[in-house]
Amino acid sequence: MTAAASIELGQFRITPVSDGTLATSIDVVLGLDRPVAQNLASADPTGGITIPVTSFLVQGPDGANVLIDAGSGTQMQATLGRLPDQLRALGVGPEAITHILLTHVHPDHANGLIDEAGAAIFPNAELLISTDEADFWQRAPRGPEPPNLVRQRARNTRNLAPYLDRLRRVPDGGQALGFTAMLTPGHTPGHTCWRLDTPSGSLLSWGDIVHIASIQLARPDAGVTYDLDAERARAARARILDMVATDRLLVAGAHVTEPGLGAITRAGTGYRFEPIV
């Protein structure tokens, strides 16, 4: 990733920063016939696909270096965890990041907060998370949970630990650093899109509104097994896709075609992503 991919929006400069690629499978797709999913995603014969994992650096007029999502760290897959080096290549190393906005606390967005020893990768960054998301992961569960959620809770406790003295909760509709938090629950209970409005246009950093873009833009009704509440995720996806297409918002997507900045247009009964850089 080079600085050439940057765009200017008002007084902000936005640069996609790749963390690498995530190997996954159409097996995670819900609510869609397998051959349809296989075809849309151009999956290999076993159903294997690769999706990008992208963070975004937003540099403001006041010297703020805001990072949207913190990458996957080095423990998930060998093809991930490149974010710190990519930031250094841009001349904005992890120590220069002043704020991190998380769309949600899933491994491919938050494991990159810490190194193997559990220390903060971003030693000077304030961490901003939606109030709902922070509450869900930080409060004791109301009852027994499936093992994968138990593991994720333990991992998130570790991910957030070095940031607890500089963690800011932002409620739905709350504002911070020029962004407005838009709660879009479903994928996780506090999944949040961060909207940046400027006189020159608006950007929506939409996290995992789509997780497998090749499938879920064409068929927004299709969910993924990572959705903690698939019905609410589907409703959020429908609402946000309609909004960005109608209002012509620029989208910064964690898992859309690299480098991940573009517009969403309607295409038949679904949508299409049109990259702008």
- Residues found near Zn ion in the complex (CB under 5 A): 108, 208
For residue 37, the surrounding DSSP H or E stretch is: helix 34-41
Between residues 126 and 227, which has the closer beta carbon with respect to Zn ion? 227
**118 strand-pairing partners:** none
Q: DSSP letter at 147?
A: H
Q: How far is the CB of 200 from Zn ion (least distance, A)?
A: 28
Provide the H-helix boundaries in 119-220.
Answer: 131-138, 147-160, 213-216
Q: Measured from the CB atom, is 208 or 227 closer to Zn ion? A: 208
19 vs 208 by CB, closer to Zn ion:
208
Q: How far is the CB of 51 from Zn ion (least distance, A)?
A: 8
CB of 268 to Zn ion, least distance (A): 26
* Nearest Cα to Cα of residue 105 among 117, 114, 116, 94: 114
- Residue 251 near residue 204, CB atoms below 8 Å: yes
Gap between the Cα atoms of 224 and 230, Å rounded:
7
Nearer to Zn ion, 126 or 208 (CB): 208
49 phi and psi angles, rounded to 5 deg:
-140, 165
